[in-house]
Amino acid sequence: MFLRRLPPSALVAVGLLTTLPVPSRADDAAIIAKGEYLARAGDCIACHTNPGGALFAGGFAMPTPFGTIYSTNVTPDHETGIGDWTADQFYGVMHTGRFPDGGLLYPAMPYAFYTKVTRADSDAIFAYLRSVPPVHQPDRPHDLRFPYNNRQLILGWRTLFFTEGEYRPDPSKSAEWNRGAYLVQGLGHCSMCHTPINALGGSSESQAFEGGLIPMQNWYAPSLTSNKEAGLGDWSIEEITALLRTGVSHRGAVYGPMAEVTYDSLQYLNDADVRSMAVYLKSLAEGTPPAAAVSTVPVPEGHLLVDFGKTVYERECVTCHAEDGRGMPPDYPPLAANPSIQMESAVNPIRMVLNGGFPPGTAGNPMPYGMPPFAQTLSDDEVAAVVTYIRGAWGNRGTSVSARQANDLRTAPLD
């Protein structure tokens, strides 16, 4: 009876609806599982989950040179989370860096990279976030200094540093290379750390992956090209894959912020995706020889540091890293021909001597060997000497470091 009162066009629509396939629970589960995997690839949990807090409830403090930003609640709570968002709105946030009401996101949210994520992948991540337990937790206001607390300034930042648009495959490259580029440039947002950051908190595409100091953390993200440092061009795909997946390889190990990325994200990716990332990363460094290192320490002082450093090395380091610097990989990383020892910045080796550390515990390396801290037993002169020694011994080409550099890093945050 009701159908007779509908116009013919509506009758056609009703007929079509009866023939369209209805998504099954299995389909929904597959989309949610895909979204969880992609959220891991994007390392979303690292920022949107406060240590000790509820999953994706936000509140994680991110210190920046402009003040502290707190991550948002992305659970499906209807009042304080994204429970009232649509898939279109979520994609808009990922793609444009704007809230559903048009408000501007601070670029601590890596939308400059997430804009490359496809609509299908965005929908899957949204489906996964909608499946996690809702948490009623209001977002904590950011604590930014004037004038950076004025969101309208983000318009200038976006003009200079944001290009909206999904990833476009390079037809001259393989499908594997393009998959790696999509993950590295997009969800992985690797160049957010591995590209120099300027005074405005932005980076230039021309300097992508050339390495830089991570603001407020006092760790150096190494160059992934060979312009400044060794890069990955002479690594095998297997060596790069092992480092990404397990945190250790026969070339070295990851520590600091990269250890967190491996622990929270990379170890969960499948073999094909990790290999595709390795293929892409290796291509960034091929064909570009490293630049010559220039030391800021006077030559006579540098020679004294090397001689003194050899004494410290033989006393404190030789048991694990061997007299010739070859170490016992992957448990005790090699120091000879190790790119992380020879980088333009000596921040990382100084911090490792001072603070020690462990690679991440991963499925592929569940019981990692660690390095003890020497901050309490070595003076600034001894730290500078031993780091200078390992940066120049066994054919390494790193420059000398000073006692002042060692002293400056004694109070650096440990995370």
Q: In angstroms, rounded to a whole number, what is the distance separating the alpha carbons of residues 2 and 65?
A: 65
* H helix runs in 247-330, sequence order: 256-264, 271-285, 299-316, 318-321
In angstroms, how far is CA 166 from the centroid of its own chain?
20
Q: Is residue 120 part of a domain?
A: yes
Dist. CA 253–CA 330, nearest whole Å: 8
Distance CA 270, CA 272 (A): 6
Contacts of 294 (CB under 8 A, 6+ apart): 399
CB atoms under 10 Å from CB of 399, counted, come to: 18
CB 111 within 8 A of CB 187: no
Instruction: Summarize the confidence of residues 281-302 as an average pLDDT.
Output: 61
Cα separation, 151 vs 197, whole angstroms: 20
Residue 177 has pLDDT above 90, yes or no: yes
Give pLDDT tens digits for 158-176. 998 899 999 999 999 999 9
Position 186 confidence tier, pLDDT thresholds 50, 70, 90: very high
Q: Note down the domain range covering 42.
A: 25-161
Tell me how far apart the alpha carbons of residues 76 and 250 are, in angstroms, rounded to a whole number: 43
Same domain, 56 and 157: yes
Residue range 151-155: average pLDDT? 89
Pair 128, 220 in one domain: no
Listed residues 219, 254, 285: the one ending a domain: 285
Amino acid at 403: A
- Structural domain includes residue 291: no
129 in helix, strand or coil?
A: helix
**329 in a structural domain:** yes
Q: Is residue 137 part of a domain?
A: yes
Q: Which H or E run contains 214?
A: strand 212-214
> Could you report the per-residue pLDDT of 207-235, keeping only the tens digit for each?
888 888 887 778 888 888 865 565 688 88
Q: What are φ and ψ of residue 279, in 5° steps? A: -60, -45
What 3-state class would DSSP assign to 173?
coil
pLDDT at 23 over 60: no
Q: Is residue 67 part of a domain?
A: yes
What's the one-letter identity of residue 408?
Answer: D
Does 4 score more than 70 pLDDT? Answer: no
Q: Do 179 and 307 lie in a common domain?
A: no
Q: Are 262 and 360 in contact (CB under 8 A)?
A: yes
42 and 148 assigned to the same domain: yes
pLDDT at 19 over 70: no
pLDDT at 252: 83
> 230 with 105, same domain?
no
Count up the domains in the chain and report the number: 3
Residues 277 and 331 in one domain: no
36 plus 155 within the same structural domain: yes
Mean pLDDT for the chain overall: 87
Rounded to whole angstroms, the Cα distance separating 190 from 41 reads 11
Quick: pLDDT tens for 306-330: 889 999 999 999 999 999 999 998 8
- Spell out the residues 6+ positions from residue 228 whose beta carbon is closer than 8 angstroms to its own: 210, 211, 290, 291, 343, 344
The residue among 161, 196, 213 that closes a domain is 161
- The answer to whether residue 98 sits within a structural domain is yes
Q: Are residues 147 and 38 in the same domain?
A: yes
Residue 12 is predicted with a pLDDT of 37
> Token pair of 53, please?
């807090």
| Environment class of 9 (CB within 10 Å of its CB; exposed 0-12, middle 13-18, buried 19+) | exposed
- Same domain, yes or no: 97 and 157: yes
Q: Is residue 125 part of a domain?
A: yes
- Provide the percentage of residues in the chain whose pLDDT is more than 90: 61
pLDDT, greater one: 115 or 225: 115
- Name which residue leads in pLDDT, 327 or 414: 327
Q: What is the DSSP string of 3-59?
A: GGGS-HHHHHHHHHHHHSPPPPHHHHHHHHHHHHHHHHHTTHHHHHB-TTS-TT-B-
Asked whether residue 3 carries a pLDDT value surpassing 90, the answer given is: no
Say which CATH number the domain at 240 has: 1.10.760
State the pLDDT confidence band at 122, using cuts at 50, 70 and 90: very high
Q: Are strands 212-214 and 143-144 parallel, antiparallel or unpaired?
A: unpaired
Q: Is 345 found in the same domain as 269?
A: no
User: Is the per-residue pLDDT at 18 higher than 90?
Assistant: no
pLDDT of residue 302: 56
Residue 388 is part of a domain; what is its CATH number?
A: 1.10.760.10
Residues 304 and 396 grouped into a single domain: yes
What does each C-alpha distance from 8 to 5, 14, 19, 20, 337 come to in angstroms? 9, 10, 17, 19, 77
Residue 16 forms part of a structural domain: no
The CA distance from 134 to 77, in Å, is 5
The residue out of 114, 135, 161 marking a domain boundary is: 161
Residues 180 and 150 in one domain: no
**Which of 34-38, 295-299, 366-370 is predicted with the least confidence, judged by mean pLDDT?**
295-299
Tell how strand 143-144 and strand 252-253 pair up: unpaired
Q: SS3 for 374?
A: coil
Report whether pLDDT(288) > 90. Answer: no
How far, in Å, CA of 114 to CA of 278, rounded? Answer: 20
- pLDDT over 70 percentage in the chain: 88
